[in-house]
Structure 1
Amino acid sequence: MNTNPSTTTELAVSAHGLVKAFGDLRAVDGIDLEVRRGEVFGVLGPNGAGKTTMLQMLATLLPMDGGEAQIFGVDVRRHPHVVRQLVGVTGQYASVDENLTARENLYLFGRLLGLDKKRARATGEDLLGRFGLEEAGDKQIKQFSAGWTWPRA
């Protein structure tokens, strides 16, 4: 089996017929999902819709009761140890320093990921620009609203 994610598929996530039950409650009932490499994908829905359960299955934190899933072409069920090396999961309240600005947090994460100072700054600026969040760069995270939306030019 090829577990090299750079050569296996153009899909970052492929899931078909995902099922998770807790007793009589089917928390996830036949979800199909495809996310291409480089796409930004959000999971939205009301409380109890199965969003977190689905993500936990894809990240190998919960076993699937049905269906199949691949992360960068790697089978979630058969190779969970490889999948865990490919994904990172964080919730709405990520482990950021709320006293730092968005720009400072991006820089910090860049450095923690091994980027040199110049590259970490450049990557942070690039990300703010890509998502139209330049004006958020100098705001402290604690000033952000959970549902904050930014006007697009």
Structure 2
Amino acid sequence: MRILTVLGLCAVVLFGGPSPVAAAPDGYSWPLRPRPALARAFDPPEHDWLPGHRGVDLVGARGQAVLSAGEGMVAFAGVVAGKPVVSVDHPGGLRTTYEPVLAAVGVGARVGRGTPLGTLEPGHPGCGTCLHWGLRRGREYLDPLGLVRAATVRLKPLRADVAGP
């Protein structure tokens, strides 16, 4: 939260969620095209060991190309708990994950933003054919939507006697 003075009035600027990736960084785009609908939002657990949703689910179609959200290097392309997964390491210590994706790239491959990583497979729990897209910095899970959209900014008056628009 930041305090901002605009035209002599103080206002609080609220950002749309706690994320170290608050404003959309340059060089990232949606992993599915056209821009997909959101099936399930990011819902991190209060503690690492508790249940939660450590990514977002994006509505897709069987066989649809899954694209790298940004430039980087493929860190993993294989199966985890019976599901095909691709992970890409990006500059700044970020790692994106894509699941369930039948890989068309191998570990160590350099990819750019929009490079096809593989194809979307059906069978994601709760939504059929959805891409589970995750983002981490180190061990901290982040909302991957922060890569593709800027934070929501709202100006609110600090005094109750100041009317808004």
Q: Same fold (TM over 0.5)?
A: no
Structure with the higher helix share, 1 or 2: 1
Structure with the higher strand share, 1 or 2: 2
* Coarse TM-score class (shorter-chain normalised): under 0.3
| Structure-2-length-normalised TM-score | 0.22
| Structure-1-length-normalised TM-score | 0.23
